[in-house]
């Protein structure tokens, strides 16, 4: 058996004395796309931040293995270099940092961490152009400061474009569908699907089933009160859409 | 006004008084004798108490023969230098540039001790008459070389109507306890477009004082940028006067302050006639135990209607021990104006930092990107590419140093 890309064992995490993750168990084998669905406030974004290594959260118990290696002691930049990518629910606007400067810094930092040489400027431009074309990210957007003045849809497209450029082994997409109209949803989904290559794994977080019509998952997990309470195939998402999360309330307690 | 009790004079004041008297600047000598150096009880020096901060003043610097390299080299610039107060012979000037010398101080008299000392001690000033579109950056390199010395030097610049020019003044020198008192007087003719950048790169032991006085005629456009990135004690005065309708000034400045340093930018912009505008924008970045000060006063004359001016100071604290102080003042005698002020102070944004880290950018590099981003608003408008790069280099150098 090959090593799963992601393995989370009994993960507990808290923020400001409050326990949010209460024993998450999850295994994502190579090439699979898993969806996590759950109510607002159930801890989905917390899980994504804990995976990416945000400082504010304290892991009190459990283990996270990325390609078989524990990442709990790694800094966020080291996790990224190890192959983790988080598409943010709310991408951060950073005035004064040019998008192109940022993209180049990110790509080259990761290459350096992996012992690879810097990308030449023409190669970099070509890669950006290709990724941009696929996600309708035009050069006008790339000239602006990072995410500044981007609409909701533009921010999400820019996130997926970054993912296309950084080629992670595990992509965590946190509510990538929120704030998207149907056209934008299609562009984003197409971009994501183009990155499904049988090796790359994905964790798609959403609380609407809608996204999963476009990005069809191999496994669906229901998240409630800080843990996974049920798993199934893509039909589970349809059931959830019809019945809501009420059945799971209190179950986790 | 004579205070009821005589002020106790320190070593710095005694030296200054002797130097001023020897130069024949009796009025200023008298001022220092009676009042001493300004303390925090003088409103304009409230955050920069010179009596405490300036304990000694070295002897007047002698003309120096040795010439260390310039502090920043801007490729393609036309470079002039003033070493220990002496204007050096220059290479052939580009078209539209007439280089000369004038005698004595260059600043308009005002109620300020540092301005008085500048006028009292300046022997000769570099004068520039500028006409036409001058593509080459003009760099005036002020240096204080050799043993610790006190230097008063000056530049007097006239920019003709409809002319445009970029002027860089740099201040540096040997590693000694110098005191520099520098004056720049710039008169902008009608519709002149001028960028004036001054950069202090003096040694830690140096006290750097500078006064930049600007007069803007109708339609003149001025961009100033003051950068404090060297001397242990630095204070730059910016005194722009908007004297013709349509005149506009972007008055900007940057305090880069490390452990033990004190940097102060004090601005007083006067809108003397109707329909003028100014946009003062200052930033301070501090680390270690240090202090950054920005004072910004907007004066709008009685009939200067339609003045549009907003003062802003933003601070970025890279340590907990630093102090960033802001003092905005409005003195408005007209009633139909849009004037305001604001200031903010904070640390690097954690969420922004996490976002950059999550993309694989290491912490030190991410912090540098954010700091660069913080000051981009000041550096980006400097359009000359070589100068822009040189300024970016100074900021990067500061970030790498301690
Ligand atoms: N910085 C924080 N401090 C305290 N509680 C927080 C913080 N951030 C999130 N929470 C709480 O954690 C819970 C889970 O939030 P989140 O992970 O954002 O949920 P979801 O993404 O599923 O909507 C919520 O109850 C939220 O209020
Ligand atoms: Mg969320």
Higher pLDDT pick, A1 / B367 = B367
Q: Count other Cβ atoms within 10 Å, centred on residue A53.
A: 24
Instruction: Give the count of domains, chain B.
Output: 1
Q: Is A112 helix (H, G, I), strand (E, B) or coil?
A: helix
- Ligand index nearest the alpha carbon of residue A16: 1
Nearest CA to ligand 1 atom 11: A41
Measure A62 CA to nearest chain B CA, in Å. Answer: 22
**Residue indicated by tokens 């993912």:** A163
Residue B252 contacts residue B222 (beta carbons within 8 Å): no
Q: Is residue B307 part of a domain?
A: yes
Which token pair is A168? 């992670």
Q: Inform me whether the pLDDT recorded for B1 exceeds 80.
A: no
Within its chain, how far is the Cα of B248 from the centroid? 19
Q: Is residue B132 part of a domain?
A: yes
Q: Is residue B172 part of a domain?
A: yes
Q: What angle do CA A164, A168, A172 make, to 5 degrees?
A: 90
Q: Is A80 on the interface with B (CB under 8 A)?
A: yes
Rounded Cα gap, residues A61 and B368, in angstroms: 34
Higher pLDDT pick, A113 / B209 = B209
Question: Taking the C-alpha atoms of B97, B103, B107 and B108 in order, what is their torsion angle to the nearest 10 degrees?
Answer: -110
Q: Inform me whether the pLDDT recorded for B106 exceeds 70.
A: yes
**Alpha carbon of A163 to those of A6, A80, A177: distances in Å?**
17, 11, 15
Q: Is residue B391 part of a domain?
A: no
Higher pLDDT pick, B335 / A2 = B335
pLDDT at A253: 42
B111-143 burial, b if ≥16 CB within 10 A, otherwise e?
ebbbbbbbbbbbbebbbbbbbeebebbbbbbbb
pLDDT at B4: 57
At A21, give phi and psi (nearest 5°). Answer: -95, 130
pLDDT at B2: 53
Range of the domain at B222: 63-346
Rounded Cα gap, residues A35 and A53, in angstroms: 20
**Alpha carbon of A222 to those of A18, A37, A176: distances in Å?**
22, 5, 17
Within its chain, how far is the Cα of B263 from the centroid? 10
| Closest ligand 1 atom to Cα of A39 | 22
Measure A219 CA to nearest chain B CA, in Å. Answer: 26
Please choose, from the candidates B132, B191, B202, B194, the residue with its C-alpha nearest in 3D space to the C-alpha of residue B167: B194
pLDDT, average across residues B177-198: 98
Nearest CA to ligand 1 atom 26: A41
Q: How far is the CA of A40 from the centre of ligand 2 (A)?
A: 6
Name residues 306-365 of chain B within 8 A of A (Cβ).
Answer: 350-352, 354-363, 365
Q: How far is the CA of A47 from the centre of ligand 1 (A)?
A: 10
Q: Is residue B22 part of a domain?
A: no
Residue A7 contacts residue A24 (beta carbons within 8 Å): no
Residue A162 contacts residue B359 (beta carbons within 8 Å): yes
In sequence order, the β-bridge partners of residue B283 are B254, B314
Residues of B within 8 A of A95 (CB-CB) are 373, 376
Q: Inform me whether the pLDDT recorded for B243 exceeds 60.
A: yes
Nearest CA to ligand 1 atom 25: A41
Domains, chain A, in order of start with CATH, read 6-248 (3.40.50.300)
| Closest ligand 1 atom to Cα of A48 | 17
Q: Among A42, A86, A224, A225, which is best to mutate for testing ligand 1, by the most ligand atoms less than 8 A from CB?
A: A42
Please write the tens of the pLDDT for every residue from B359-385. 999 999 999 999 999 999 999 999 999
pLDDT at B274: 98
Rounded Cα gap, residues A184 and A168, in angstroms: 23
Q: Which helix (H) or strand (E) holds B160?
A: none
Q: E strands along chain A, which residues?
A: 6-15, 18-28, 33-38, 57-66, 69-70, 84-87, 94-98, 145-146, 170-174, 201-206, 219-224, 227-232
Which token pair is B272? 């003397």
pLDDT at A252: 47
Rounded Cα gap, residues B249 and B254, in angstroms: 16
To test the contact with chain B by mutation, choose from A82, A85, A105, A114 the residue with the greatest count of B C-beta atoms within 10 A, namely A105
A54 Cβ closer than 6 Å to some ligand 1 atom? no
Rounded Cα gap, residues B179 and B39, in angstroms: 18
Residue A202 contacts residue A170 (beta carbons within 8 Å): yes
Q: What is the ipTM of this complex?
A: 0.96
Q: Is B374 on the interface with A (CB under 8 A)?
A: yes
């Amino acid at each position: 058996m090959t090593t799963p890309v992601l393995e989370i064992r009994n993960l507990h995490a808290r923020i400001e004395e409050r326990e949010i993750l209460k024993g998450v168990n999850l295994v994502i084998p190579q090439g699979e796309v898993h969806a996590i669905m759950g109510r607002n406030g159930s801890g989905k974004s917390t899980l994504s931040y804990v995976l990416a290594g945000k400082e504010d959260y304290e892991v009190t118990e459990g283990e996270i293995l990325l390609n078989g290696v524990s990442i709990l002691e790694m800094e966020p930049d080291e996790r990224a270099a190890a192959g983790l990518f988080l598409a943010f629910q709310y991408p951060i606007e950073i005035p004064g940092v040019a998008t192109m400067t940022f993209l180049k810094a990110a790509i080259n930092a990761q290459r350096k961490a992996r012992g690879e040489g810097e990308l030449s400027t023409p190669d970099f431009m070509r890669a950006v152009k290709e990724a941009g074309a696929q996600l309708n990210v035009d050069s006008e957007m790339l000239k602006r400061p990072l995410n500044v003045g981007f609409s909701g849809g533009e921010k999400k497209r820019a996130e997926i474009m970054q993912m296309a450029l950084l080629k992670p082994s595990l992509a965590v997409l946190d509510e990538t569908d929120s704030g998207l109209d149907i056209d934008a949803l299609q562009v984003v989904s197409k971009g994501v699907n183009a990155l499904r290559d049988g090796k790359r794994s994905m964790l798609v977080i959403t609380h609407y089933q809608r996204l999963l019509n476009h990005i069809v998952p191999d496994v669906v997990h229901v998240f409630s009160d800080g843990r996974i309470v049920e798993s199934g195939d893509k039909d589970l998402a349809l059931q959830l859409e019809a019945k809501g999360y009420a059945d799971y309330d209190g179950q986790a307690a | 006004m004579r205070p009821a009790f005589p002020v106790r004079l320190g070593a710095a004041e005694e030296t200054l008084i002797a130097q001023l008297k020897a130069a024949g600047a009796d009025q200023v000598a008298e001022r220092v004798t009676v009042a001493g150096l300004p303390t925090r009880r003088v409103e304009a020096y409230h955050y920069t108490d010179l009596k405490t901060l300036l304990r000694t003043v070295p002897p007047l610097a002698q003309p120096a023969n040795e010439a260390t390299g310039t502090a920043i080299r801007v490729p393609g610039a036309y470079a002039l230098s003033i070493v220990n107060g002496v204007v050096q012979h220059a290479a052939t000037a580009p078209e539209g540039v007439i280089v000369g010398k004038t005698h004595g101080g260059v600043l308009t008299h005002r109620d300020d001790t540092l301005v008085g000392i500048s006028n009292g001690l300046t022997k000769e000033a570099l004068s520039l008459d500028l006409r036409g579109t001058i593509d080459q950056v003009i760099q005036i390199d002020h240096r204080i070389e050799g043993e610790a010395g006190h230097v008063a030097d000056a530049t007097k610049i006239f920019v003709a109507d409809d002319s445009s020019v970029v002027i860089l003044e740099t201040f540096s020198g040997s590693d000694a306890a110098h005191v520099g008192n520098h004056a720049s007087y710039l008169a902008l003719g009608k519709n002149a477009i001028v960028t004036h950048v001054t950069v202090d790169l003096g040694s830690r032991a140096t006290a750097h004082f500078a006064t930049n006085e600007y007069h803007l005629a109708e339609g003149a456009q001025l961009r100033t940028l003051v950068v404090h990135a060297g001397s242990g004690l630095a204070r730059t005065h910016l005194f722009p006067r908007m004297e013709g309708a349509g005149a506009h000034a972007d008055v900007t400045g940057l305090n880069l302050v490390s452990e033990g340093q004190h940097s102060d930018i004090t601005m007083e912009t006067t809108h003397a006639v109707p329909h003028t505008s100014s946009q003062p924008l200052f930033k301070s970045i501090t680390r270690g135990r240090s202090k950054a000060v920005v004072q910004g006063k907007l004066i709008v004359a009685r009939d200067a209607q339609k003045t549009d001016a907003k003062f802003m100071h933003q601070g970025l604290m890279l340590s907990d021990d630093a102090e960033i102080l802001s003092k905005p003042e409005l003195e408005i005698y007209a009633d139909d104006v849009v004037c305001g002020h604001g200031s903010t102070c904070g640390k690097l944004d954690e969420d922004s930092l996490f976002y950059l880290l999550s993309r694989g950018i290491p912490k030190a590099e991410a912090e540098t990107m954010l700091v660069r981003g913080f000051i981009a608003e000041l550096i980006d408008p400097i359009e000359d590419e070589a100068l822009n790069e040189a300024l970016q280099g100074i900021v990067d150098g500061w970030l790498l140093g301690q």
